[in-house]
Amino acid sequence: MMKTQKVWFITGASRGFGLEVTKAALAAGDRVIATVRRQPEHLTATLNNPPDLYVVQMDVTQEDQVQAAVKQGIADFGRIDVLLNNAGFGMVTAIEEATDAEVRKQYDTNVFGLLNVTRAVLPYLRQQRSGRIINISSLFGYDVVPGWGLYGSTKFAVEGLSQGLAVELAPLGIHVTAVAPGLFTTDFLSTESYVATKTIIDDYQTTVGRMRNGADALHGNQPGDPKKLAQVILQVANAEHPPLHLPVGKDAVAMYQNNAAKVAQEIEDWLPVSASTDHDDRIAA
């Protein structure tokens, strides 16, 4: 059976996972609507202007730009089969250190931006009664390490939104997967992809300070190969029964397993307290 050519809509396609998936999808014979925040001509040139690539400038936080980009992509390629919500950035900070403006900027991109794009694409997927939404989460969407709690909270939101979308869209033939990568050798830990907050509180130096000092040292030494992750995402896009939650990388799998075990043990330890709150006349005999 011949593989059906898919049309992808990929956010944050200029580098990192977005760029690798764009390359992999094109190599597989698919078509890609790739969105970038600036210099769309740079991505077109980098990929040698293939006919199956349509690059559009778009900021996920600007809903009018998002709606326009989706309409342009549909006008050019006729449909969208796979939405890859990849755009996002990290923030290394103690939660107390982050200002309201810094927190809102983090959520505007990682959560509200994802929602902007999803809302813009879903009418077309619903009309088709088919499609895939793949949301890039993180191993920090399973558990938290000091310094990445705020960023992780946006990925906890992505996990929850994916789960909600999945149950709402399943009857319409649309599959949803939250892909939670571990640490990969992308630009994520470069100073262009994550930010540190302006405020630093000395009391957090022994915990968050290690992360602030260690991110640059870790950059380039992460265990994961982004080209392999791109192939995993293509596999998910083509699977008949894709998973809802998919940790990718041994570190992401371990993060999920360790947190699940901790939560299960806590619930077990406190079960008598947790189960003690029913009205006395409604307790089963």
Domain boundaries, the chain: 7-250
Query: Cα–chain-centroid distance for residue 228?
Result: 17
For β-strands 82-85 and 174-181, DSSP reports them as unpaired
CB atoms within 10 A of CB 15: 18
The per-residue pLDDT for 86 is 97
Q: Cα(79)–Cα(196) distance, rounded to whole angstroms?
A: 39
Three-state SS annotation for 24-90: HHHHCCCEEEEEECCCHHHHHHHCCCCCCEEEEECCCCCHHHHHHHHHHHHHHHCCCCEEEECCCCE
The per-residue pLDDT for 281 is 83
Q: What is the dihedral of CA 13, 16, 22, 28, to 10 degrees?
A: -170
Q: Rounded to a whole number, what is the distance in angstroms from the first to the last CA of the chain?
A: 59
54 catalytic? Reply is no
The per-residue pLDDT for 222 is 65
Choose the catalytic residue: 138, 155, 162, 204: 155
Q: Concatenated DSSP letters for 74-89?
A: HHHHS---EEEE----
Amino acid at 90: G
Choose the catalytic residue: 6, 14, 137, 153: 137
Instruction: Give me the residue label for tokens 């300070």.
Output: 209
Q: Cα(200)–Cα(211) distance, rounded to whole angstroms?
A: 13
155 catalytic? Reply is yes
Q: Answer left, alpha or beta for residue 86, where phi above 0 means left and psi between -120 and 50 means alpha.
A: alpha
In the chain, how long is the greatest CA-to-CA distance?
73
List the pLDDT tens digit at each of the 285 positions of the chain: 456 899 999 999 998 899 999 999 999 999 999 999 999 999 999 999 999 999 999 999 999 999 999 999 999 999 999 999 999 999 999 999 999 999 999 999 999 999 999 999 999 999 999 999 999 999 999 999 999 999 999 999 999 999 999 999 999 999 999 999 998 765 544 455 567 888 999 999 999 988 887 655 555 456 678 899 999 999 999 999 999 999 999 999 999 999 999 999 999 999 999 999 999 887 665
- Whether pTM > 0.75 for this model: the answer is yes
151 catalytic? Reply is yes
The per-residue pLDDT for 187 is 59
Query: Cα–chain-centroid distance for residue 31?
Result: 21
What DSSP state is assigned to residue 109? I
The per-residue pLDDT for 1 is 46
Comparing CA positions, the residue from 277, 269, 17, 258 lying closest to residue 135 is 17
Q: Which CATH class is domain 7-250?
A: alpha beta
